[in-house]
Structure 1
Amino acid sequence: MGSRGHYRYHWQSHNVKQSGVDDMVLLSKISEDAIVENLKKRYMDDFIFTYIGPVLISVNPFKQMPYFGDKEVEMYQGAAQYENPPHIYALADNMYRNMMIDRENQCVIISGESGAGKTVAAKYIMGYISRVSGGGPRVQHVKDIILQSNPLLEAFGNAKTIRNNNSSRFGKFIQVNYLENGVVRGAVVEKYLLEKSRLVSREKNERNYHVFYYLLVGASEEERKEFKLLQPEDYLYLKQQNFMIEDEEDLRHDFERLQQAMEMV
């Protein structure tokens, strides 16, 4: 009970609002209704993370949340799980510390249905570990390459679907390798189960892979002439199923980001 008591005191001493139960093993009655009600209560108060023991449940808020900055990195770095509110940084830090202390490989599995926020969760984990694992300019260059692999993979493997504007249409396994002192050495990304059928046919109101729209909307006039590019609606593989582009500005920005990622990687 000592750690739980410390946890409650920690919350009170910082005057942080508490909503529902932050670890559902503490629910007075464990049932599907009780779990859903607790998650709903926390979600309505912008608490998107909840524990079930060592498992972290994340509910997609479909908006940018304010608690992923330097303050939170410092707050969760080296802290015990129950010292702070549930957070994906706590999960990432626990994994990193276990690797350093036990000298054993660590693994995190991110699962959920389409639109649950798996892709973003993976980015936060990678970003946190990158920030706490130390190293000089050369190591930072390696980290940048690892992080920039994300927009590259997403461009060629993610697509807009009915349920999710940035839906991963493939699975990936990311292996990050470390030196004895915990500094990042490199990484390997394995990709599998790419939804190839999407290239030629899609459901109504869904789109092909991002990269086609990035290029056709984001290319400069010089590039359009050089590569003889037409408009997206001129291509059969892109204009199927009520074709409409409403996010041209975002596509231009993402095309620039893709080019930066290619330069880095």
Structure 2
Amino acid sequence: MVLLSKINEDAITENLRKRYNDDYIFTYIGPVLISVNPFKQLPYFTDREVELYQGAAQYENPPHIFALADLMFRNMMIDSENQCVIISGESGAGKTVAAKFIMSYISKVSGGGAKVQRVKDIILQSNPLLEAFGNAKTVRNNNSSRFGKYVEIQFCGGGAPDGGKISNFLLEKSRVVSQNAGERNFHIYYYYQILEGASSEQRENLGVTTPDYYFYLNQSGTYTVDDVSDKKDFAETMEAMAVVGLSVEEQDSVLQIVASILHLGNISFREENNYASIESQD
């Protein structure tokens, strides 16, 4: 981008448009990487790209998020200094996916044995778990993160990850009780994971039925998301719970709490002699 004859907004957007039309979604502007959401799967994130960018100079290969991740990892190893990647953009820009690519790249290029692999698994599996409880379909984005997060991975001297910490903040709690038309509650509620993905025995134990029965789910009139399998996501969420260390009993408790919130949402009240009383004892 810095090699453009004119550096102004029109020239920058035109350059990004031309590259985007040729499926070049990454562009450098100095040390900054601009990423444009292609809204489709691209074959740029395989093991071949990991090998291509590992240890390569930044401008040796086409711009890529793996190059950015590799530069950060090598700077940490060479200078023994903390590194930070700031990912910013509007809703639907691809921030969540970018964070996943960085974490998966670090996981592949850092060494370590079985103990380190467990740490890597926990770091990577935190994504589906956090998304189940903190992401939702909005009008602009089918998997919108309704919270901010700061992911910190700690490395030992040899470059293997030996710990991690995820700080999350500003969760949009109001979404639990009301949603706009065309939007959904957090994924885990409809889960659709619980409702679609759970076995008949689980559903019976939780007392759950179809989404349109629940006030916390039926206000928007939207129950499914194009190109999203809630059943598959539910399986991934349960697997993630096990990987991060939740016992079967704890997993059951989590589902019971989520189901109980849905049931509580169906309790309505009326005023009776200046007191609130429950509309229906059922």
Structure 1 length-normalised TM: 0.89
Match in the other structure for 1:242 = 221
Match in the other structure for 1:37 = 14
Aligned residue pairs total 242
Please list the CA deviations of residues 104-141 of structure 1 after superposition, one character each: whole Å capped at 9, or x if unmatched: 00000000000000000000000000100111121111
The gaps in structure 1 that reach 5 residues or longer are 1-23
Match in the other structure for 1:261 = 240
Aligned residues of 1:205 and 1:243 also touching (Cα < 8 A): yes
More displaced stretch, 168-177 vs 135-144: 135-144
Decide which of 126, 150, 154 is 1:173's aligned counterpart: 150
Aligned residues of 2:50 and 2:66 also touching (Cα < 8 A): yes
In structure 1, C-alpha distance between the alignment counterparts of 2:105 and 2:227, rounded to whole Å: 31
Structure 2 length-normalised TM: 0.84
Asked if 1:221 corresponds to 2:200, the answer is yes
- Computing the radius of gyration over CA atoms, which structure comes out larger, 1 or 2? 2
Please list the CA deviations of residues 139-179 of structure 1 after superposition, one character each: whole Å capped at 9, or x if unmatched: 11110011000000000000000010000000000000000
Match in the other structure for 2:173 = 196
**After superposition, where does 1:128-147 map in structure 2 within 5 Å?**
128-147=105-124
The gaps in structure 2 that reach 5 residues or longer are 245-282
Match in the other structure for 1:52 = 29
Decide which of 86, 102, 124 is 2:79's aligned counterpart: 102
In structure 2, C-alpha distance between the alignment counterparts of 1:201 and 1:153, rounded to whole Å: 20
Relative to 1, partners in 2 of residues 1:111 and 1:249: Cα closer, same or farther, differing over 3 Å? closer
Aligned residues of 1:217 and 1:248 also touching (Cα < 8 A): no
In structure 1, C-alpha distance between the alignment counterparts of 2:227 and 2:233, rounded to whole Å: 10
Q: CA deviation at 1:245?
A: 2.4
Letter in 2 for 1:161: T
More displaced stretch, 35-44 vs 212-221: 212-221
Q: CA deviation at 1:94?
A: 0.2
Decide which of 129, 143, 150 is 1:152's aligned counterpart: 129
Asked if 1:233 corresponds to 2:242, the answer is no
Asked if 1:68 corresponds to 2:72, the answer is no
Aligned residues of 1:224 and 1:230 also touching (Cα < 8 A): yes
Work out the percentage of aligned pairs sharing the same amino acid.
67
Please list the CA deviations of residues 85-110 of structure 1 after superposition, one character each: whole Å capped at 9, or x if unmatched: 00000000000000000110000000
Aligned residues of 1:200 and 1:237 also touching (Cα < 8 A): yes
Q: CA deviation at 1:249?
A: 6.8
Match in the other structure for 1:88 = 65
In structure 2, C-alpha distance between the alignment counterparts of 1:161 and 1:85, rounded to whole Å: 33
In structure 2, C-alpha distance between the alignment counterparts of 1:60 and 1:49, rounded to whole Å: 9
Match in the other structure for 2:231 = 252
Match in the other structure for 2:189 = 212
Letter in 2 for 1:221: S
In structure 1, C-alpha distance between the alignment counterparts of 2:199 and 2:69, rounded to whole Å: 40
Letter in 2 for 1:168: S
In structure 2, C-alpha distance between the alignment counterparts of 1:150 and 1:243, rounded to whole Å: 24
2:224 match: secondary structure: coil
